[in-house]
Amino acid sequence: MSDATAGTAAPQPSGSKKGSLLQQDARTKRRNAAESRFKFYGVLAVGTGLLFLLVLLWAIITNGAQAFSQTFVSVQVELLESKLDKNGNRNLEDIKKVSTFGYSPLVQNGLLSAVDQSGAETPLSKGKDMKPILSASAAAQLRDYVIANPDKIGETVEFRFLASSRVDGYLKGRVTRESIARDKNIDAAHLDLVDALLEVGVIEKTFNWSFITGSDASDTRPEAAGMGVSMLGSLFMMLVVLGLSLPIGVAASIYLEEFAPQNRWTDLIEVNISNLAAVPSIVFGILGLAVFIQFAHLPQSAPLVGGLVLTLMTLPTIIIATRASLKAVPPSIRDAALGVGASKMQSVFHHVLPLAAPGILTGTIIGLAQALGETAPLLLIGMVGFIASNYPEGVMDGFVSPNSAMPAQIYEWAKRADPAFYERAWGGIIILLVFLITMNIIAILLRRRFERRW
């Protein structure tokens, strides 16, 4: 049908007498409206998905950014000989006998004199009144310093102590005068004093390195808690996962892709691998608990056990990725190698495997990233519920002594009652996501750089 005839002999829907291509009838309008509605639903769905992503990221960043700043109090502390070393002979054993209780008055008096110097008017006039402003860790920090430098006793030294979590929260807007009305840890007078001290620079908020490098702290000292030790725990776990899952996964894939005969045994292995990829992670935790801890008596909470469990979880991912990249190497490569007299094994290890290596590496990194964020199995093998406050003492110790891991540490903080820990949990998520994003970017770059299309 040509254009010329289109105007006159347009197909007319039966029942409608005056149809025209130029003027849409009601049915066509309805259909077109349905069409644009349908498309709009699609846009809406994609938009909602992206919106959720944005909201999630926004929640993480706004809540977590505060964990990276921390309030400090600068105090001149007079290290009184009469309190710290009564005998005056600088005997380290004697100095160690003074507990942190002996040190707290020194810190509090130091702060009190700073308050006097600043000229701030406050009803708080005793050293003990200063306690709510300072972290409970201040006395321990001072004690460690004195034990390390006994010759400083008798002098006045300037220290930067952590402020208490309430003061920290006040400067970050988490704690307000209304919210502390029934809080017996701090009074409004303290907040007034904090405002005054902030002006003279005794109290300041700076970047919080110790959140990244530090260790976890007990329930009462959220201001001192950090991710450093659990990051090491995660690192040791990832070393185990990498060291086991990469060789085993690659070996298994090579067998299945290049050598395995088509039989029931091979089918069984393949069905198993695809099923393992979909087994809930908590079931792997049960396996780890029953096999590695109950049966094999490996140490509880150790990164070694966590790494073993995560290895079993990561293997299917690595095997699937490796098989895909082995499959992508064209058969002509194998044929050429076999043609010049290489054995089957030589053709695989000398030619196919190097060509598939970038794909294998990418899959491995993505598998590791998954394992790094996995939490549920770690709960069952006991990597939560205690305070990871000690750095491992060496490489062997790092594998077998109890530790936490980044996601387990975040879970631990989320469970604690003090809202100051929530800020830490969000901050921990930022660190975790930075690792994940870095790993994924490396994977993408590797793929872009080395991937070959045949």
How many CB atoms within 10 Å of residue 63? 16
Least distance between other proteins and beta carbon 11 (Å): 9
Nearer to other proteins, 339 or 385 (CB): 385
Nearer to other proteins, 6 or 200 (CB): 6
Least distance between other proteins and beta carbon 208 (Å): 19
The CA distance from 61 to 429, in Å, is 9
Nearer to other proteins, 72 or 426 (CB): 426
Least distance between other proteins and beta carbon 327 (Å): 16
Taken in order 155, 159, 163, 164, is the CA torsion positive or negative?
negative
Least distance between other proteins and beta carbon 33 (Å): 10
The CA distance from 409 to 301, in Å, is 12
Nearer to other proteins, 143 or 424 (CB): 424
Nearer to other proteins, 1 or 43 (CB): 43
Taken in order 342, 348, 353, 356, is the CA torsion positive or negative?
positive
DSSP conformation class of 152: G
Nearer to other proteins, 101 or 295 (CB): 295
Question: Please, how many CA atoms are within 13 Å of residue 32, restricted to the half-sphere of its CB?
Answer: 6
Nearer to other proteins, 157 or 414 (CB): 414
The CA distance from 97 to 87, in Å, is 12
The CA distance from 288 to 286, in Å, is 5
E strand map for 109-183 = 156-162
Q: Which of 453, 241, 274, 280 is nearest to 364 (CA)?
A: 241
The CA distance from 25 to 19, in Å, is 7
- 378 touches 386 (CB < 8 A): no
Least distance between other proteins and beta carbon 123 (Å): 35
Least distance between other proteins and beta carbon 225 (Å): 15
Least distance between other proteins and beta carbon 138 (Å): 29
